[in-house]
Amino acid sequence: MPRINSPTELEKLREEIKLKREPGKPCITISSGTCGHARGSEEVIAAFEKEIKSQGLEEEIDIKITGCLGFCQREPIVLIHPEEICYLEVKPEDAAEIVQSVKEKKIIERLLYTDPKTGEKIKHDSDIPFYKSQQRNILGSNKWIDSRSIEDYLYIGGYSALSKALSQMTPDQVLEEIKKANLRGRGGGGFPTGRKWEETKNAPGEPKYVIVNCDEGDPGAYMDRSLMEGNPHSVIEGLIIGAYAIGSHEGFVYVRQEYPLAVENLNIALKQAEEYGFLGENILNSGFDFRIKVHRGAGAFVSGESSALMTAIEGKVGEPRMKYVHMSQRGYKEKPSCLNNVETWATVPFIINKGSDWFNSIGTEGSKGTKIFSLVGKVNNTGLVEVPMGMTLRQIIYDIGGGIPKGRKFKGVQTGGPSGGIIPEQYLDTPIDFDELTQIGSMMGSGGMIVMDEDTCMVDMARYFINFCCEESCGKCIPCREGLRMLLEILTDVCEGKGKEEELQTLEDIAEVMKDASLCALGTTAANPVLTTLRYFRDEYEAHIKDKRCPAKVCKNLITYYIDPEKCQACMICLRNCPTGAIQGGKNLVHWIEQDKCIKCGICYQVCPERFNAVEKLSGEPVPAPVPGREVTRKKE
Amino acid sequence: MEKLISLKIDGKEVKAREGITVLEAAKEMGIEIPTLCYHEKLKPYGACRICSVEVERGGRTQVVASCGYPVEEGIKVKTRSAKIDKIRRTIIELIAPSLSDGGVVGKVRELADEYGADTSRFMSRFKATPTRCILCGQCVRYCSEVVGANAIGFVGRGIERRVVFFPERASRFCPTCHECYDVCPTGKIAAETDGGIFPKFSIDDFLSGKM
What's the total number of domains in chain B? 3
pLDDT band for position A545 (cuts 50, 70, 90): very high
* Helix (H/G/I), strand (E/B), else coil: A394: helix
A314-328 residue pLDDT tens: 999 999 999 999 999
Is B132 among the domain residues?
no
Is B133 among the domain residues?
no
pLDDT band for position B198 (cuts 50, 70, 90): very low
Q: Tell me which of B98, B125, B135, B186 to substitute to probe the interface with A (most A C-beta atoms closer than 10 Å).
A: B125
Whether A467 and A500 map to the same domain: the answer is yes
Identify the pLDDT of residue A637: 52
Please state, rounded to an integer, the average pLDDT across all residues of chain A.
95
Whether A278 and A326 map to the same domain: the answer is yes
Cβ-based neighbours of A410, under 8 Å, separated by 6 or more:
A397, A403, A404, A425, A428, A451, A452, A453, A454
Is B39 among the domain residues?
yes
Give the closest of B70, B86, B159 to A475, CB-based.
B159
Asked whether residue A214 carries a pLDDT value surpassing 80, the answer given is yes
> Which domain range does residue B202 map to?
138-207
Question: C-alpha distances in angstroms, A580 versus A341, A576, A598, B40, B48?
Answer: 49, 10, 7, 61, 48
- Determine the Cα–Cα distance for residues B82 and B61; give it in Å rounded to an integer: 14
Cβ-based neighbours of A86, under 8 Å, separated by 6 or more:
A77, A78, A79, A80, A112, A113, A122, A123, A124, A125, A128
pLDDT band for position B199 (cuts 50, 70, 90): very low
Identify the pLDDT of residue B205: 61
- Tell me how close the Cα of A256 comes to any Cα of chain B, in angstroms: 18
Asked whether residue B170 carries a pLDDT value surpassing 50, the answer given is yes
Residue A58 identity:
E
Whether A323 and A340 map to the same domain: the answer is yes
B94 Cβ under 8 Å from any chain A Cβ:
yes
Identify the pLDDT of residue A530: 96
CB A215 within 8 A of CB A313: no
B150 Cβ under 8 Å from any chain A Cβ:
no
CB A225 within 8 A of CB A232: no
Q: What percent of chain B has pLDDT over 70?
A: 88
For range A299-320, the mean pLDDT: 93
CB A442 within 8 A of CB A422: yes
Which residue in B has a C-alpha nearest to residue A487's C-alpha?
B125
What is chain B's length? 211
Q: Tell me, what's the ipTM?
A: 0.92
Whether A292 and A165 map to the same domain: the answer is yes
A173-209 residue pLDDT tens: 999 999 999 999 998 889 999 999 999 999 999 999 9
CATH number (domain holding residue A509): 1.20.1440.230
Q: What percent of chain B has pLDDT over 90?
A: 63
pLDDT band for position B175 (cuts 50, 70, 90): confident
B20 Cβ under 8 Å from any chain A Cβ:
no
A473-529 residue pLDDT tens: 999 999 999 999 999 999 999 999 999 999 999 999 999 999 999 999 999 999 999
- Tell me how close the Cα of A288 comes to any Cα of chain B, in angstroms: 35
Q: What percent of chain A has pLDDT over 70?
A: 99
Is A159 among the domain residues?
yes
Whether A169 and A119 map to the same domain: the answer is no
Q: Which comes out higher in pLDDT, residue A58 or A299?
A: A58
What's the total number of domains in chain A? 5
- Put simply, the answer to whether A324 touches B69 (Cβ < 8 Å) is yes
Helix (H) or strand (E) holding A103: helix A95-104
- Put simply, the answer to whether A516 touches B83 (Cβ < 8 Å) is yes
Chain mean position to CA A486: 29
Is the torsion defined by CA of B42, B47, B51, B56 positive or negative?
Answer: positive
pLDDT band for position A636 (cuts 50, 70, 90): low
Chain B contact set for A322 (CB, 8 A)? 44, 46, 65, 68-69
Is A10 among the domain residues?
no
CA angle B102, B106, B110 (to 5 degrees): 125
Is A139 among the domain residues?
no
Is B131 among the domain residues?
no
Chain A contact set for B122 (CB, 8 A)? 486
Identify the pLDDT of residue B202: 52
CATH number (domain holding residue A350): 3.40.50.11540
Asked whether residue A1 carries a pLDDT value surpassing 80, the answer given is no
Is A410 among the domain residues?
yes
- Determine the Cα–Cα distance for residues B20 and B24; give it in Å rounded to an integer: 6
Is A266 among the domain residues?
yes
> Which domain range does residue A584 map to?
559-618
Burial class (CB in 10 A: 0-12, 13-18, 19+), A264: middle
Is A591 among the domain residues?
yes
- Put simply, the answer to whether A486 touches B157 (Cβ < 8 Å) is no
Whether B157 and B190 map to the same domain: the answer is yes
- Tell me how close the Cα of A38 comes to any Cα of chain B, in angstroms: 30
Identify the pLDDT of residue B196: 43
For range B19-43, the mean pLDDT: 95
Asked whether residue B197 carries a pLDDT value surpassing 80, the answer given is no
Identify the pLDDT of residue A228: 97
pLDDT band for position B195 (cuts 50, 70, 90): very low
Please state, rounded to an integer, the average pLDDT across all residues of chain B.
88
Is B180 among the domain residues?
yes
Whether A269 and A299 map to the same domain: the answer is yes
B168 Cβ under 8 Å from any chain A Cβ:
no
